[in-house]
Amino acid sequence: MRILVLYAHPVEESFNGALHRLVVERLEGAGHTVDDCDLYAEGFDPRLSRVERERYHDVGANIEPVRGYVERLRAAEALVMCYPVWNFGYPAILKGFFDRVFVPGVSFTIENGQVRPCLHNIGKVAVVTSYGGSRMRATLAGDPPRKLVERVLRLTVKPGASVRYLAQYDMNRSTERIRERFLDMVGRQMDTF
């Protein structure tokens, strides 16, 4: 399977960096073709320009500034995202990826005022993420990142696609043992992805 791995963390030596390396290694070890998209390493510009916003609904012209990323997304059969949760949201670079790449004609169409998803090439989604705070704290805040994946992104991809959300909460108080157990669980999930 062709898998697009979207990675969004500026520090390679971080826990998220270790998760990213593990994800790519285990997916490739399972025989998948991995397109490893490290947004920071590639210098992805998350800023939606004035021209891009003005052309947002002009299908065709709207993808020109990000054509390479659109082609990678359209070529994928699965999507794995690896990122930290910051301030109960995506890192800005990943949010910018959604703003600039998930545009009309790519992730959805608008027909007679109705939004219709069109990333039906993606039959599986997985998120590997970490939160500084506890699961309870995230739940009290509504856990927006989880909802964005399980409710919004799920509706954009192939109907019935499997969606896995693998989160290590409470990184502020985690121990080496807790992190090792999470790495082990993520590895097993990627082995069977």
CATH number at residue 151: 3.40.50.360
Separation of alpha carbons 74 and 72, rounded Å: 5
Measured torsion, CA atoms of residues 166, 171, 176, 180, in degrees rounded to the nearest 10:
0
The average pLDDT across 188-192 equals: 97
In the chain, alpha helices (H): 15-29, 50-54, 67-75, 92-101, 135-140, 144-147, 154-156, 176-191
The average pLDDT across 24-43 equals: 98
- 33 DSSP β-pair partners: 2
Which tens digit of pLDDT belongs to each residue from 52-107? 999 999 999 999 999 999 999 999 999 999 999 999 999 999 999 999 999 999 99
Helix (H), strand (E) at residue 13: none
pLDDT at residue 42 is higher than 90: yes
Number of domains the chain contains: 1
pLDDT at residue 12 is higher than 90: yes
pLDDT at residue 159 is higher than 90: yes
pLDDT band at 111 (very low <50, low <70, confident <90, very high): confident
pTM of the model as a whole: 0.95
Separation of alpha carbons 166 and 64, rounded Å: 33
- pLDDT on residue 113: 87
- pLDDT on residue 46: 97
- pLDDT on residue 163: 96
Half-sphere exposure of 102 (CA within 13 A, CB side): 17
pLDDT band at 33 (very low <50, low <70, confident <90, very high): very high
- 166 DSSP β-pair partners: 128
Q: How many helices (H) and strands (E) does the chain have?
A: 8, 7
Separation of alpha carbons 147 and 145, rounded Å: 5
Q: Which domain holds residue 42?
A: 2-191
